[in-house]
Structures are given as C-alpha cells and as structure tokens.
A = this chain, B = another copy of it.
Amino acid sequence: MTTPESQAVAERELCGLVNGLARRIGDHVRERAVALGLTSAQATALRELTGPMTMTELAERMGCEPSNATFVADKLEKLGLLERRPHATDRRAKQLVLTREGTALRERLLDLLVRDSPLAGLTQQEQDVLHGLLHRAVTAATSPSPPADSL
C-alpha cells in the first residue's frame, strides 16, 4: 500500500481531485459573480482587494499582467465600486480604494462565495483539518509563481 508506484498513482489522483475542485470553485465563483453583475475576473479582483493597494500589487495578487489589472480596474471604477487615489509617497502609483458600494458588494460576494460552496458538504471539523492542510501546502510551496518566465 505504500509502494512508490501506488504513491505516484495516489498523487495523480489527488492532483485530479484538486483540479476538479479548482474547476468547481471556478464555476462557483463565476456563477456568483454573474449573479452580482460581475465577470469572473472582476469578482477575483474584488475578492483580492482586502485593502488599499497599488495596481501592481493587485496584478500580482490576481496573477496577471498590470495591463490586465488596469482593464479590470477600469470596469470596477466605471461601476462605482473602486476609486483610484494618488499614492501618498509615490506620484507614479495609484492607490486603489473600494468605495462604500464596492465594500458592500465585496461583502455580498464573499457571503455568496461561502454559501453553497463546494466545501459546504464538509463538517466544521473537516473544514478545520482541510484549512490546516491547505495552509501548509500553500506556504510550503513559496517559489512557483514569482519567476513567471516561461522557458
């Protein structure tokens, strides 16, 4: 049961499971986003805007190019959810700040994301265990994204 082969197989299965869950979550996010009149990318941005930040920081959090972050920020700004304010110390940078409406919608979004989430089928205790494992997995692998140069 603990042969290298069975390990490899189990790891593949696990990879598939996580991928499946990831897609499920992606669908979930998109559905909830649509329910709020947002696109998936806009919802992601809203979720990542845990506080005031620059365009570059948002782009990094979203895992995309700054120009794409500009695109999404434009949409959110037109929707009145976001404001670009001058940065306190660097006049090149913009400080992204959620408006009152933006903050409110973000709350609604987070609530929707939690409700009926693909994780709702687990008990609180199971979710705690899952939380610990995911936290370990994410913090343990702290080198995949930064380079981003495709070789």
A residues with a Cβ closer than 8 A to B are 2, 7-8, 10-29, 31, 34-35, 44, 47, 63, 110, 113-114, 116-122, 124, 126-131, 133-141, 144-145, 150-151
Pairwise interchain contact B141-A136, C-beta atoms closer than 8 A: no
Pairwise interchain contact B27-A131, C-beta atoms closer than 8 A: no
A50–chain B nearest beta-carbon distance, Å: 9
Nearest B residue to A17 via CB reads B134
Copies of this polypeptide in the complex: 2
Sample 30 A-B pairs with CB under 8 A, ordered by A number.
A10-B127, A11-B114, A11-B119, A14-B131, A15-B110, A15-B113, A15-B114, A16-B47, A17-B134, A18-B118, A18-B134, A20-B138, A21-B22, A21-B137, A24-B138, A24-B145, A26-B63, A27-B145, A28-B144, A31-B150, A34-B151, A118-B137, A118-B138, A118-B141, A120-B140, A120-B141, A121-B139, A122-B136, A130-B137, A133-B133
Expressed in whole angstroms, the Cα–Cα distance for A4 and B136 within the complex equals 25
Expressed in whole angstroms, the Cα–Cα distance for A10 and B128 within the complex equals 8
A42–chain B nearest beta-carbon distance, Å: 15
Given contacts A16-B47, A34-B151, A151-B34, contact A144 B2 (CB under 8 A): no
Expressed in whole angstroms, the Cα–Cα distance for A113 and B10 within the complex equals 13
A138–chain B nearest beta-carbon distance, Å: 6
A12–chain B nearest beta-carbon distance, Å: 6
Pairwise interchain contact A26-B15, C-beta atoms closer than 8 A: no
Given contacts A131-B17, A144-B28, contact A137 B116 (CB under 8 A): no
